[in-house]
Structure 1
């Protein structure tokens, strides 16, 4: 029998109270944060390489790389769903990451064979460069979508509200570590592409951490106990996703809840693309020198990472439990509406920079954890199949739609301020979608079999 006085002393630990972790949750939160850390560090190490690939050609055609990425998502998702339908989570989750590791080896071989660096006048083969850009963009979204699918499966809704922001700290630190590694290491390597080897190794570390989580929750074992899910499984939810390759799309079309999540994601990425293009337009027209632009981008990233880390560590869980999932989701559309209004009044560098910074902090610290909580109340097959489709294909679809829509509005309205004003109603519709989703999430959580948010709810028997 567990010593209640010991549990009481652990619960009263000041650090546990600050970060809102309960007894028995420390190890799984650390493992989950370590997975996120390794995945984002892996991507942010290769992100500058991806951006360099975009320079191998006319940058005015960048939107067509967005279209290529969308096509890549369209191909990848049915394949992922087909594999998920025929294998267990214990197999297909590590297999996704091992597949991307194999892809890195293939690209390294292609770059080595076709020549790169001084021998090739500092230029890459344009076809391989474009293929790498598209692949890296698919990689970025897929590895995170699969990870959050597992986390939505093993954590209850109540735990997600408390812990997902804290797990996000791992991702924030991983992104910062990856960027710093590239800055300080790339110049000391004979070929910067060798950094891809480090990305590959980090993926393997993430796989081992994921396997540790799955062992702790006995995923794939005959006597599996997925904490907080046992009642639902006994009520009829399959132990594995199963189904067909097109189930993800079919389930979305049949579910008003998932369709609303799709709408939220599309409006998120459309408005994100608007802000991205506005930022680059006002900076381009400012006459700033290259070194000043680089310094500005660096200061923005520093501010975003610092503010995001503080909010994720100490506030995200408390905010979500205090005001609910819907209001937490609605914070980002509200910031976006105010920001577009400010840019409409004063379309200058300072305003757009502050808007971009606050918006990205709101996204990483509040919106992203709240979005993941939305999936804790849906069946297991939707967590893996529909979620991956929404987080990848619909996400990139919003990017493409935003790029072409911004281009059209900019030509017709002839000005950043006018485009920003036209974007305010889009943000308002987005906010309404967030509130509706929050209400439906609360209803689904209340209708689910009771799962007590206690330390014992996450401990294997």
Structure 2
């Protein structure tokens, strides 16, 4: 108890947390720490590999990623649907998708607690980004062998994820009835794993279709899809600009890996500070609308600046500002959007959206970029100008979506 009190006191320095929320919060924090550490250990290897293949091949790689997603997404959605419904135990395969873990975190929160706590959970992810990036700088010469280290970190993330959603409330009867109703729903839709047949497997892969149906049946989720698609398009535009700048500035592959890791480390410091000091306060005081509008507004300003001064320094500064605002405000705000939807929508629709919509946005940006740079021979300035209408549409969508989320959250609070 003494140790727990000390931990609670430390956590309370950064976020307002109730005692029954602490175990789940700490498990979510450590899970994302290990998960993002694994990701950022190998991210510089991926980015450098993309440049080594040639900038002209990047759009094609994005298209190939979309095609593979359509193959892998039903499998990962099905596996996740089986595992998240088995009495709270989480299999290692859940961590195939960061989205799956976010879905579990959001499922244990409402709009109010999400606004308070998501920044702290995101700080765990950012601390993982920082540590993973620093490890990548120190071990850049190991190259592909970094994958082994990343696998160990994924195992630690899987073990940490088991405690997500364990809410030590004083309402065991209510939790029990909720768990029972979910179990009954699962038994109706999913058979035990050891009784799966070829025909039942075909039925289980319909989980992805269920997610799509839930999205098409909800104007709110369609609005969220539009927001996420625009987010992915703009992010990919910045990625292509960054890759072009680094390819021109740094010729050596090892030096490029180190540079990517150093930039990730530098950015993570500012994101971590912002998540621990600003995210919760802004989400609870200014609201979700202000949070999800932050990155679109700064991206519009960044693209305008790059159109006027298309230099590598300006691209680097713009990308840093965009990432900081995105992870300090817009990404946490985006997760809060899902606190007002049903459990099925959180698990099936959200995972479907995070996987497919993200890839569709990446592919759209890749196609547009290839046309602008390859076919029309447009430079960084002209490409930035072409991205301005997309940024403007992103701002309008974010503002409208934030207002709708606030209205739904208020309605849910009144119903309770």
CA contact (8 A) 1:81 1:248 kept: no
Q: Deviations over 1:157-214 (max 9, x none)?
A: 1111111011111111112222222333464x6xx54433332232222222222235
* Corresponding residue number in structure 2 for 1:399: 362
Indicate how the Cα distance of structure 1 residues 445 and 284 shifts in structure 2: closer, same or farther if over 3 A, else same.
Answer: same
Q: How does 1:104-183 map to 2 (within 5 A)?
A: 139=96, 142=97, 144-183=98-137
Partners of 2:405 and 2:25 lie apart in 1 by 23
CA contact (8 A) 2:80 2:94 kept: no
> Structure 1 residues 63-72 or 294-303, which shifts more?
294-303
* Corresponding residue number in structure 2 for 1:197: 148
* Corresponding residue number in structure 2 for 1:126: none
* TM-score of the two chains, using structure 2 as the length reference: 0.82
CA contact (8 A) 1:157 1:376 kept: yes
CA contact (8 A) 1:413 1:419 kept: no
* Corresponding residue number in structure 1 for 2:160: 209
Partners of 1:99 and 1:431 lie apart in 2 by 33
* Corresponding residue number in structure 1 for 2:273: 310
* Corresponding residue number in structure 1 for 2:342: 379
Aligned pair partner of 1:19 in 5, 15, 21: 15
Indicate how the Cα distance of structure 1 residues 450 and 217 shifts in structure 2: closer, same or farther if over 3 A, else same.
Answer: farther
* Corresponding residue number in structure 1 for 2:66: 70
Indicate how the Cα distance of structure 1 residues 397 and 380 shifts in structure 2: closer, same or farther if over 3 A, else same.
Answer: same
Partners of 1:377 and 1:233 lie apart in 2 by 22
Q: Deviations over 1:69-100 (max 9, x none)?
A: 212221222223444555652379733x3487
1:274: how far off? Answer: 1.2
Partners of 2:187 and 2:237 lie apart in 1 by 36
1:225: how far off? Answer: 1.8
* Corresponding residue number in structure 1 for 2:239: 276
Partners of 1:212 and 1:382 lie apart in 2 by 22
> Structure 1 residues 175-184 or 149-158, which shifts more?
175-184
CA contact (8 A) 2:41 2:135 kept: yes
> Are 2:384 and 1:430 aligned?
no
Indicate how the Cα distance of structure 1 residues 154 and 451 shifts in structure 2: closer, same or farther if over 3 A, else same.
Answer: farther
1:399: how far off? Answer: 0.9
* Corresponding residue number in structure 2 for 1:254: 217
Partners of 2:187 and 2:284 lie apart in 1 by 29
1:340: how far off? Answer: 0.8
CA contact (8 A) 1:35 1:210 kept: yes
Indicate how the Cα distance of structure 1 residues 321 and 215 shifts in structure 2: closer, same or farther if over 3 A, else same.
Answer: closer
Long gaps (5+) in structure 1:
1-8, 101-138, 453-461
* TM-score of the two chains, using structure 1 as the length reference: 0.75
Q: How many residues align?
A: 390
CA contact (8 A) 2:223 2:401 kept: yes
1:400: how far off? Answer: 1.2
> Are 2:313 and 1:350 aligned?
yes
* Corresponding residue number in structure 2 for 1:42: 38
Partners of 1:317 and 1:276 lie apart in 2 by 28
Indicate how the Cα distance of structure 1 residues 183 and 255 shifts in structure 2: closer, same or farther if over 3 A, else same.
Answer: same
CA contact (8 A) 2:129 2:265 kept: no
1:262: how far off? Answer: 1.0
* Corresponding residue number in structure 2 for 1:328: 291
* Corresponding residue number in structure 2 for 1:29: 25
| SS of structure 1 residue aligned to 2:352 | helix
Partners of 2:55 and 2:49 lie apart in 1 by 10
CA contact (8 A) 1:145 1:388 kept: yes
CA contact (8 A) 1:85 1:242 kept: no
| SS of structure 1 residue aligned to 2:163 | helix
| SS of structure 1 residue aligned to 2:175 | coil
* Corresponding residue number in structure 2 for 1:119: none
> Structure 1 residues 433-442 or 23-32, which shifts more?
23-32
1:67: how far off? Answer: 1.9
> Structure 1 residues 71-80 or 149-158, which shifts more?
71-80
| SS of structure 1 residue aligned to 2:310 | coil
Q: Deviations over 1:413-440 (max 9, x none)?
A: 7222122122112111101111111111
Partners of 2:165 and 2:11 lie apart in 1 by 26
Long gaps (5+) in structure 2:
190-205
